[in-house]
């Protein structure tokens, strides 16, 4: 019968995922060995295979877990009436969520090419769903006459790139709080989609 309490796997499982996430983010998937992950967890390399069928599945599981969290969190957000308020909500949500999970965000953008084709397709579909939410807001705003965005597809790419870029420079404890950063970015986004 399976042990349901005090099992090491309750401890080791998450630790494996945390170590892998941190190391993949720091050095890159290809540059990190299973033995490095194991050392970080305080275990032999073979023990990792109680928690993942192989290295590739470990990467995929991390990315999929992150995308699921992202979509769930976004869909749990309030959905205001006007497109303008929905856009503001998206900007602030994206910055807040991304800065709370820098490693996951990082590997989500950097390690896509290290996914097997089938795994890549799954993650890519999830990402398209998330980015589609932004484009929908832009389209609504265009219809409402609240925005002036001739090409909503392009604009969504541009804004996503801009917002995600926060992760490349933001460091906790710097001169700006997350809310201040979000204020500044929202100001730029607001103007960028306006009639100007």
Contacting residue, 18, 22, 28, 34, with DNA by CB under 7 A? 34
Cα–Cα separations (whole angstroms), residue 76 to 3, 37, 71, 72, 79: 34, 34, 8, 6, 9
The answer to whether the beta carbons of residues 67 and 130 sit under 8 Å apart is yes
Instruction: Choose between 61 and 167: whose C-beta lies nearer to a second copy.
Output: 167
Is position 87 an interface residue for a second copy (rule: CB under 8 A)?
A: no
In the complex, what is the shortest distance from the CB of residue 24 to DNA, in angstroms, rounded to a whole number?
A: 11
Beta carbons of 58 and 34 less than 8 angstroms apart: no
DSSP-assigned letter for residue 113? G
102-131 footprint of a second copy as x/- string (CB under 8 A): --------x--xx-----------------
Establish if 44 lies at the interface with DNA (CB under 7 A). yes
Burial readout 102-130 (b: 16 or more C-beta within 10 A, e: otherwise): bbbbbbbeebeebbeeebeeebeebbeeb
Q: Smallest distance, Å, CB 20 to DNA?
A: 11
Cβ closer to a second copy: 79 or 175?
175
Is 150 a residue that touches a second copy (CB under 8 A)?
A: yes
Q: Are 100 and 40 in contact (CB under 8 A)?
A: no
Name the residue nearer to DNA (CB basis): 16 or 146: 16
Q: Specify the residue, 51 or 147, whose C-beta has the smaller distance to a second copy.
A: 147
DSSP SS3 for 6? coil
Given a contact cutoff of 8 angstroms between Cβ atoms, the answer to whether 178 and 99 are in contact is yes
Binding site for DNA (CB under 7 A): 1-12, 32-36, 38, 42-47, 49-50, 53-56
């Amino acid at each position: 019968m399976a042990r349901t309490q005090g099992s090491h796997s309750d401890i080791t499982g998450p630790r494996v995922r945390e170590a892998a996430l941190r190391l993949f983010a720091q050095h890159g998937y290809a540059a990190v060995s299973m033995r490095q992950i194991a050392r970080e967890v305080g275990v032999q390399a073979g023990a990792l295979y109680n928690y993942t069928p192989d290295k590739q599945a470990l990467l995929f599981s991390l990315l999929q877990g992150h995308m699921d969290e992202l979509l769930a969190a976004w869909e749990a957000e309030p959905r205001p009436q006007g497109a303008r308020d929905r856009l503001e909500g998206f900007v602030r949500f994206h910055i807040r969520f991304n800065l709370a999970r820098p490693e996951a965000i990082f590997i989500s953008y950097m390690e896509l090419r290290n996914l097997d084709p089938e795994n890549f397709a799954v993650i890519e579909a999830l990402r398209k769903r998330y980015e589609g939410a932004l484009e929908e807001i832009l389209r609504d705003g265009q219809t409402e006459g609240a925005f002036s965005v001739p090409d909503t597809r392009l604009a969504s790419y541009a804004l996503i790139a801009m917002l995600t870029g926060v992760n490349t420079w933001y460091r906790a404890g710097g001169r700006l709080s997350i809310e201040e950063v979000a204020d500044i970015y929202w100001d730029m986004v607001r103007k960028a989609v306006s009639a100007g």
